[in-house]
Amino acid sequence: MTRAERSAQTRGDLLAAAQRRFFENGYHATTVDDIADEAGYTKGAVYSTFGSKAAIFLALFDEIVDQRLAATRAIVDPDAPTAENLAALAAQPVEERNARFLLLSIEFWVHAAREPALLDAFSERYRRLRASLAELAPHDSALGAERWALVTLALSNGFALERLIDPDGVPGDLMADVQARLLAGIRPIP
Per-residue pLDDT tens digits for 46-102: 999 999 999 999 999 999 999 988 988 888 877 777 777 777 776 666 677 788 898
In a domain, 114, yes or no: yes
Single residue among 51, 75, 92 that ends a domain in this structure: 51
Tell me if 145 sits within 8 A of 137, measured CB to CB: yes
Q: Could you tell me if 43 and 57 lie in one domain?
A: no
DSSP 44-70: HHHHHHHSSHHHHHHHHHHHHHHHHHH
Per-residue pLDDT tens digits for 22-35: 999 999 999 999 99
In a domain, 16, yes or no: yes
Tell me if 97 sits within 8 A of 23, measured CB to CB: yes
Total tally of structural domains belonging to the chain: 2
Q: Could you tell me if 85 and 27 lie in one domain?
A: no
Which of the given ranges, 43-47, 130-134, 152-156, has the highest pLDDT on average? 43-47
The domain in which residue 9 lies consists of 1-51
Find, among 109, 95, 83, the residue nearest to 160 by Cα. Answer: 95
Q: What is the pTM of this model?
A: 0.85
CATH code of 96's domain: 1.10.357.10
Q: Could you tell me if 47 and 59 lie in one domain?
A: no
In a domain, 190, yes or no: no
Helices (H) and strands (E) in the chain, counts: 9, 0
